[in-house]
């Protein structure tokens, strides 16, 4: 895998673009802090961008299936560069309207880029390397989050907001250049070109029967809600824990422990796959995430808090690469664009719902009871789908045994 130039192009592009992304996010917060006094309005502005991404999701999925993945990624890169230009105008004019235009355009560009990228990964690495590639790719994204936010904070002290976005623009430009050098075989392997093209032109809704016909894919989609129940309200939890202990330092400790643990999990999951099936890995770490959530009931202990976030980070680092590999291998390639676009839309919607739910429960019952509620939901969902999975496997085994006996009798 490491001898594949496409792998290095994808990872290098992710590293550079991720730095640009997180610089832009920190820049957005800084600009809004200066121009938008209301916290509610800040959340509305950010939600508008997410909503725009959700609305274009079906179109993005269809285009990703109908067109070459590289072409979609190139135009998405151009869209990101153009969106930064809108932010330059916002800084020059001091207008919040241009900030809204920037947030909408950057989210739309991301909505096209994500399904194309996820569809491209199976085209550049062999099936046996998919899990490792997904893990490394997510590790790179985590590294950019840690470095990008820290670097942006330092840059804001030393230079203007304009310069921060200039570096973000340069990062997206470099991603655009890197993408140009990708070489992927996008010709269909088993079906003739005309037949696959006709299938790709189908409606976005055609992906739903495919998901319904693959129970493990549906289960994986639903189980993805388990880490989302934790990650959706991550920042709110960190703030509450910091307030509980009256300690600002613990916030940095939590982010560091979670990030390092995530990278360790994503690195080791490939070795685990030699001994466990992808489904065993997914169910096991899904349960662990739920139990770690419940353990935050003992928030008074800093050791328990850091251990819980470390365990969640490691578990999520194992869960997400495994889930991505299941999606990439079980969903037919001609539906990849629409499926990953749908998944992106689902993640955005659930993130918003969990974020609002976390805030509501924190006010209603407090943090300790909220984490128990979310933890029980996580454990319950995992147990339910594990039992369903076992029942399905048992039925398949019985059908094979019956068929074998019938063949012997004949």
* Domains annotated on the chain, with CATH: 1-182 (1.20.1250.20), 204-394 (1.20.1250.20)
Question: Distance between CA 105 and CA 49 in Å, rounded?
Answer: 8
Q: Give the pLDDT mean for 352-361.
A: 76
9-18, 174-183, 194-203, 393-402: which has the minimum mean pLDDT?
194-203
- Give pLDDT, residue 402: 62
Question: Distance between CA 231 and CA 239 in Å, rounded?
Answer: 13
Q: From the CA atom positions of the chain, what is the Rg in Å?
A: 22
Do residues 31 and 90 lie in contact, with contact meaning Cβ atoms separated by under 8 Å? yes
Q: And the tokens for 58?
A: 């079906």
Do residues 263 and 143 lie in contact, with contact meaning Cβ atoms separated by under 8 Å? yes
Is residue 382 over pLDDT 60?
A: yes
Highest mean pLDDT among 129-143, 219-233, 249-263, 360-374: 360-374
- Tens digits of residue pLDDT in 100-109: 899 899 888 8
Place of tokens 């993945």: 69
Buried (b) or exposed (e) across 91-123, using 16+ Cβ within 10 A?
Answer: beeeeeebbbbbbbbbbbbbbbbbbbbbbbbbb
- Give pLDDT, residue 200: 47
pLDDT band at 321 (very low <50, low <70, confident <90, very high): confident
Highest mean pLDDT among 33-47, 376-390, 394-408: 376-390
92-96, 149-153, 231-235, 305-309: which has the minimum mean pLDDT?
149-153
Q: What pTM value is reported for the model?
A: 0.66
Handedness of CA 31, 35, 36, 37 (dihedral sign): positive
Question: Distance between CA 48 and CA 54 in Å, rounded?
Answer: 10
Question: Distance between CA 144 and CA 85 in Å, rounded?
Answer: 22
User: Shortest CA distance to 222 belongs to which of 100, 367, 61, 377?
Assistant: 377
Q: Give the pLDDT mean for 58-69.
A: 78
Is residue 408 over pLDDT 70?
A: no
How far, CA to CA in Å, does 17 sit from each of 37, 59, 89, 110? 30, 23, 21, 11
């Amino acid at each position: 895998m490491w001898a594949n130039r496409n792998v290095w192009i994808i990872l290098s592009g992710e590293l550079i673009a991720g730095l640009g992304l997180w610089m832009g996010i920190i820049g957005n917060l800084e600009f809004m802090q200066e121009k938008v006094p209301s916290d509610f309005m800040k959340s509305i502005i950010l939600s508008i961008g997410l909503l725009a991404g959700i609305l274009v999701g079906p179109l993005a999925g269809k285009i990703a299936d109908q067109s070459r993945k590289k072409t979609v990624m190139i135009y998405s890169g151009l869209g990101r560069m153009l969106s930064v230009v809108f932010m330059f105008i916002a800084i020059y004019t001091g207008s919040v309207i241009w900030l809204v235009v920037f947030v909408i355009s950057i989210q739309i560009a991301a909505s096209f880029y994500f399904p194309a990228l996820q569809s491209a990964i199976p085209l550049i690495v062999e099936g046996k390397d998919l899990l490792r590639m997904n893990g490394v790719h997510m590790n790179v994204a985590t590294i950019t989050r840690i470095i990008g936010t820290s670097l942006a904070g330092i840059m804001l002290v030393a230079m203007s907001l304009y310069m921060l976005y200039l570096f973000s623009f340069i990062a997206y430009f470099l991603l655009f250049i890197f993408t140009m050098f990708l070489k992927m075989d996008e010709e269909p392997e088993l079906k003739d070109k005309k037949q696959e093209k006709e299938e790709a032109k189908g409606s976005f809704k055609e992906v739903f029967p495919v998901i319904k016909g693959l129970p493990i894919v549906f289960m994986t989609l639903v189980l993805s809600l388990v880490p989302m129940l934790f990650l959706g309200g991550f920042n709110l939890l960190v703030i509450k824990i910091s307030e509980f202990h009256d300690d600002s330092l613990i916030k940095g400790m939590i982010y560091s422990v979670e990030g390092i643990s995530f990278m360790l999990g994503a690195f080791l999951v490939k070795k685990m796959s030699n001994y466990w099936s992808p489904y065993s890995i997914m169910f096991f770490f899904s349960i662990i995430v739920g139990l770690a959530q419940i353990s935050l009931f003992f928030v008074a202990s800093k050791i328990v808090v850091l251990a819980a976030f470390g365990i969640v980070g490691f578990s999520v680092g194992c869960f997400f690469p495994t889930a991505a590999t299941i999606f990439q291998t079980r969903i037919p390639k001609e539906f990849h664009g629409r499926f990953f676009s749908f998944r992106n839309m689902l993640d955005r919607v659930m993130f918003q719902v969990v974020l609002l739910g976390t805030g509501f429960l924190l006010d209603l019952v407090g943090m300790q009871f909220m984490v128990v509620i979310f933890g029980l939901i996580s454990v319950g969902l995992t147990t339910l789908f594990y039992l369903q999975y076992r029942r399905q496997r048992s039925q398949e085994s019985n059908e094979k045994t019956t068929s074998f006996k019938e063949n012997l009798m004949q």
